[in-house]
Structure 1
Amino acid sequence: MKHPVDAHVGQRIRHRRWLMGMTQQQLGDAIGIKFQQVQKYETGMNRVSASRLWDIARVLDVDVSFFFEGLGAEAAEHEAAGSEMPRDLMADKEAMELIRSYYAIPEAQRRRLFDLARVLSDVA
């Protein structure tokens, strides 16, 4: 049975890998394991050791603490009634694709798009 912490860490690995446009095979090759092991980490079926998590963080260009962000606070953040945000924003494919597309836009245009989105959400 998977532990909720292992599932959370695996989910954070998967989302960061996806945001970087990296395949499981590429991540596995970069840290010296097979893609099937990456799959097991991402589903939470296998625990990620501290040294392996360190290697994954280096390849995915994040601090190790990134994988634990939001742990325990997830339920409290989404209890507000009427919230239209998904319970797990990082698990929402549409949101992830939007984020990936957003960061593909050159910085100056991205800033203007961000300002426009903020104005639109304020008047909604």
Structure 2
Amino acid sequence: MTRAADVDTYVGQKIRSRRKTMGLSQAALADAIGISYQQLQKYERGVNRVSAPMLVAIAEKLACRGADFLPDTAAPSSTDLGPALALAAFPNGLEIARAYLAMDPSRRQSFLGVVRALTAELGPSETLAAAQ
């Protein structure tokens, strides 16, 4: 992750994921930190860069550290959470993840089989486009 735009997107996804985990709407978080929900939306999409003081303010309201939103450049690529963060940012993404974690192992395998069958019906470019 070297491009600034990639970092902005990563930070935004982490903010959105944490906000949703905390059960806050964009409007509630934005109000708590003194910005418009539209500005928060731009931060979460990576359109606008989050300043360091704003990142600290967001982290305080989300009960975490500002560093928790930044990419860990020392982490090996095998621990990339990009797809998990993307899922959490989608509507119902957290609900899907929670339901998956609540399943017993045999049901998880069945669920994964259904998901694989559904995505196999799409071509590779359609699968990628649907994930974005």
Residue 16 of structure 2 corresponds to residue 18 of structure 1: no
What secondary structure does 2:49 align onto?
coil
Partner residue, 1:109 = none
Indicate the residue corresponding to 1:28 in structure 2: 30
Equivalent pair of 1:90/1:96 in contact (CA under 8 Å): no
Give the counterpart letter for 2:67 in structure 1: S
* Partner AA of 1:42 in structure 2: E
**C-alpha distance in structure 2 between counterparts of 1:33 and 1:8, whole Å:** 20
Cα distance in 2 for partners of 1:26, 1:87 equals 25
Aligned length, in residue pairs: 102
CA distance in 2, matches of 1:6, 1:27: 19
Q: TM-score, normalised by structure 1?
A: 0.65
TM-score (norm 2): 0.62
Q: 2:85 aligns with which of 90, 103, 110?
A: 90
Query: What amino acid maps onto 1:36 in structure 2?
Result: Q
State the 1:57 CA deviation: 0.1
Structure 1 vs Structure 2: percent identity of aligned residues?
A: 42
Question: How far apart, CA to CA, are the structure 1 residues paired with 2:6 and 2:74?
Answer: 10
* Structural mapping, 1:52-63, within 5 Å: 52-63=54-65
Match of 2:5 among 3, 6, 28: 3
Are the counterparts in 1 of residues 10 and 71 from structure 2 also a CA contact under 8 Å? no
Q: 1:13 to 1:71 in 2, by over 3 A?
A: farther
Q: How does 1:72-91 map to 2 (within 5 A)?
A: 75-77=77-79, 88-91=83-86
C-alpha RMSD over aligned residues: 3.2
1:61 positional shift:
0.5
Q: Which runs of 5+ in 1 are unaligned?
A: 79-85, 103-112
List runs of 5+ in structure 2 lacking aligned partners: 110-132
**Secondary structure, in 3 states, of the residue corresponding to 2:23?**
coil
Moved over 2 A (4+): 69-78, 98-102
Q: Structure 1: how far apart are the matches of 2:52 and 2:22?
A: 22
